[in-house]
Structure 1
Amino acid sequence: MKKFLAALFVLVPGLALSAGGDVHLDKAHYDLTDKASLQNGAKLFMNYCLGCHQQQYQRYQSTFEDLGIPLELGQENLQFTGDKVSSYITNNMKPANAEKWFGAAIPDLTLVARVRGADWLYTYLRSFYADPKRPMGVNNLVFKDVGMPHVLQELQGRPVLAHEEAMVDGEKVERYAGIKAEGGLMTAEQYDAAVLDLVNYLVYVGEPGRLDLEHKGKFVLGFIIVLFIFVYLLKKEYWREVH
């Protein structure tokens, strides 16, 4: 419980400042049973996110085991700190340096999917756009005046706001037509799929035992239904002569 509360205190100040209430959130159709997606999401997180964001309430070992990654392979390719495989997923960035470089404490992402929701994360990671007025050169439709850089720009390319002309009440107006990106390692479809894999992984980390609990929950509900039938029949038998 103490760790859970501590995580909330870490997450809320860094994330609650952005509302994004006017932006439509795209549906994140994640699948916690898709091991390939989870493994790719873990790879993306370790390579692009862990330099700044920690998951200090999640261990490497349990992550590798849950996602079907051999421990030696995981340590060699996804664990860059030299810690033991039983260590928590942390980095070496000092909080003082983080505040100096980014202007605010960097939130831990162990519970970000539970705090923000998968749809918010999926839309947020696909809503960066070039903005030379911002210190990092980018802004975000969901998180206005975002303080973090677009760490996935290498994959997506340089994103810019696109506009198109349209007739409204007989007048020509320019309206928003999405975000276009060029020069990335991925196509738009590939980038969306990669972001979904990353979101899938963050959802898993937020509640690693979710699938197991859902599986057990089905048996519990089945037991309750069967028990109800027997209790109902017993009640009818007990009250038969009274009625």
Structure 2
Amino acid sequence: MNYRLTMVCILKKGLTLVSTSFLLGTAFAAGGDFPLDSAPDRLNNNASLQNGAKIFVNYCSGCHSAVNLRYNRLRDIGLTDQQIKDNLILGDQKVGDLMTISTNPKDAKAWFGKVPPDMSVVARSRGTDWLYTYFRTYYKDPDSPTGWNNLVYPNVGMPHVLWQLQGERAAIFENVKDAKDPGKTTKAFKGFEQLSPGLMKPQEYDDNIADLVSFMSWMAEPTQLQRKRIGVVVLLFLAIFTLIAWRLNKAYWKDIR
């Protein structure tokens, strides 16, 4: 591979990560106090990743691009070119094209207040636990411009695009005394009230969100499993080489000492 081209690709991805981190710091700024749930790790499960890819394409890619990933990279999770064409390419793109969107950035900014960030590296920027909790803590809020709010990201500008799957829920809050100032009260989250059922049961919805988050984690770095395997091999090699070098050193110097 051309060295200059490789460095350009690395620099481009690095700049994307920095810019996405900045956007998420503003567009996805969370309250920071809500406890995060642990996201299941399904990076080794191709069936889960394929389901996550389907959810991403059908519910997320209308507004969020993934410009560091090409459709043909989905072969790595067990899909054929024909399956990618039939199930995951909704426009006129080709299998070798980047996962871009047709939404105009100016229109997106007008609709949501900010341009929706590219999702190529969002899992690395925010973390899978944040994403897993975020997608599962939407609730109806009549005071919000979109009619929705989120416990992880208060006053979220993004509507709940998965509401048909999860159903409509209301958040129950209770006024409690502020631990730092007893004279003040704060709102404490107590639970959800299901207003209308979704197409999925709660456990089924959580399971599908785990698949989506796992796919987003894979999408952020498709080679991460290979990188980790190579890392283990390298560490084992270095450990064995160190032992051999230590023994050779003792053998070389034994007569002198």
- Give the TM-score normalised by the residue count of structure 2: 0.87
Matched residue, 2:192: 179
Matched residue, 1:99: 109
What amino acid sits opposite 2:129 in the alignment? Answer: D
Question: Aligned partners of 1:99 and 1:4: how far apart in 2?
Answer: 23
Match of 1:214 among 228, 242, 248: 228
Question: Aligned partners of 2:220 and 2:192: how far apart in 1?
Answer: 29
Q: Is the 8 A contact 1:41 1:194 kept in 2?
A: yes
State the secondary structure of the residue aligned to 2:33.
Answer: coil
Map 1:13-32 onto structure 2 (within 5 A). Answer: 13-17=22-26, 18-32=29-43
Are residue 188 (structure 1) and residue 202 (structure 2) matched?
Answer: yes
Question: Aligned partners of 1:53 and 1:180: how far apart in 2?
Answer: 30
Deviation at 1:7, TM superposition (A): 1.6
Unaligned 5+ runs, structure 2: 1-9, 177-186
Are residue 127 (structure 1) and residue 127 (structure 2) matched?
Answer: no
Q: CA RMSD in A?
A: 1.9
Q: Is the 8 A contact 1:10 1:108 kept in 2?
A: no
Q: Is the 8 A contact 1:136 1:149 kept in 2?
A: yes
Deviation at 1:52, TM superposition (A): 0.4
| More divergent stretch after superposition (2-11 vs 47-56) | 2-11
Question: Aligned partners of 2:30 and 2:175: how far apart in 1?
Answer: 29
Matched residue, 1:226: 240
Q: How many residues align?
A: 236
Q: Is the 8 A contact 1:81 1:91 kept in 2?
A: no
Deviation at 1:47, TM superposition (A): 0.2
Change in Cα spacing, 1:10 to 1:97, as seen in structure 2 (3 Å) is farther
Question: Aligned partners of 1:204 and 1:197: how far apart in 2?
Answer: 10
Matched residue, 2:252: 238
Deviation at 1:74, TM superposition (A): 1.3
Question: Aligned partners of 1:83 and 1:220: how far apart in 2?
Answer: 39
State the secondary structure of the residue aligned to 1:16.
Answer: helix
Deviation at 1:164, TM superposition (A): 7.9
Question: Aligned partners of 1:26 and 1:12: how far apart in 2?
Answer: 21
Q: Is the 8 A contact 2:21 2:122 kept in 1?
A: no
- Regions of 4+ moved over 6 Å: none
Deviation at 1:242, TM superposition (A): 2.6
Q: Is the 8 A contact 1:41 1:199 kept in 2?
A: yes
State the secondary structure of the residue aligned to 2:136.
Answer: coil
Matched residue, 1:3: 12
CA deviations on 1:143-201 (whole Å, 9 max, x unpaired) are 111101100001000021135899xxxxxxx9633224332001110111111100000
Map 1:25-174 onto structure 2 (within 5 A). Answer: 25-63=36-74, 65-162=75-172
CA deviations on 1:89-110 (whole Å, 9 max, x unpaired) are 1110010110111111110000
Question: Aligned partners of 1:118 and 1:175: how far apart in 2?
Answer: 24
Deviation at 1:19, TM superposition (A): 3.1
CA deviations on 1:33-57 (whole Å, 9 max, x unpaired) are 1111100000000000000000011
Question: Aligned partners of 1:91 and 1:74: how far apart in 2?
Answer: 16
